[in-house]
Amino acid sequence: MGPYTGRDPDAKKAEWLRQKAPQGHKYGEVKESLSRLNLKTVCEEAQCPNIGECWNGGGDGISTATIMLLGDTCTRGCRFCAVKTSRTPPPPDPMEPLHTATAIASWGVDYIVLTSVDRDDLADGGSGHFARTVQALKTLKPDIMVECLTSDFRGDLTAVHTLLYSGLDVFAHNIETVKRLQRIVRDPRAGYEQSLSVLRHAKQSKKGMITKTSIMLGLGETDNELKETMADLRAIDVDILTLGQYLQVG
């Protein structure tokens, strides 16, 4: 067995783990649009291996991308993430909200996810920038449903409130893992109770707001710890819970 990892270094990877270099007409169109408007995506910054399938439309023919606001540099350093980090990232692009809305409206999609890096260097954590993007998008395409996958804004509930009343339809914030593994997996500035507080406030502060979170599996959590986390999320009326897993392809 290989050192530290527990896997055989000579074992071949499963064929379904191997991805071809992204290409195709729709992929090219989306990439050109994003590049021209200087927009960032989680797909590129997190080095997602499924980028070609999503941008080309997959089985339904609809191109999808998760737009990452507030630049491509995060002020935190969670251990599961490939996005670059810095304590002093460049200031946000003031034209990004309009450019983002323009690009998304041109794609003709009915549902879009907006997310961002953590911006602890900004007074409001970037919530105002988030809100302006949602408002611009709703102006250009009022019927589109918008999900915002946000940071915890350092637990600043005023910042959360700003985004809640921007016109978004789904407020998402990922708790990421069970309580015991928080300090191992996430940046020390994040935290289990802080994330619960943000999700609770989102649900209680605006009637009808849909709240969503996600847990990564395979980090050493036990079944009982997962059940406890699910119970904590249910206790604050989180509407949607997704369970995922990061695969180490390299």
123 near 91, Cβ under 8 Å?
A: no
Instruction: Return binding residues for [4Fe-4S] cluster.
Output: 43, 48, 54, 74, 78, 81
Instruction: Return binding residues.
Output: 43, 48, 54, 74, 78, 81
pLDDT in tens, 126-173: 999 999 999 999 999 999 999 999 999 999 999 999 999 999 999 999
SS3 73: coil
89 near 122, Cβ under 8 Å?
A: no
pLDDT in tens, 181-234: 999 999 899 999 999 999 999 999 999 999 999 999 988 899 999 999 999 999
Tokens of 69: 């606001």
H or E segment and range at residue 111: strand 111-116
Distance separating alpha carbons of residues 89 and 76, to the nearest angstrom: 11
Indicate whether 114 pLDDT > 80: yes
- What the chain holds in terms of domains, given with CATH numbers, is 40-245 (3.20.20.70)
**pLDDT above 90: percentage of residues in the chain:** 56
Indicate whether 32 pLDDT > 90: no
Distance separating alpha carbons of residues 248 and 219, to the nearest angstrom: 12
Q: What is the pLDDT of residue 13?
A: 63
Indicate whether 249 pLDDT > 90: no
The pLDDT mean for the chain works out to 85
Largest CA distance in the chain: 57
Indicate whether 43 pLDDT > 50: yes
Q: What is the pLDDT of residue 160?
A: 97
Q: What is the pLDDT of residue 9?
A: 64
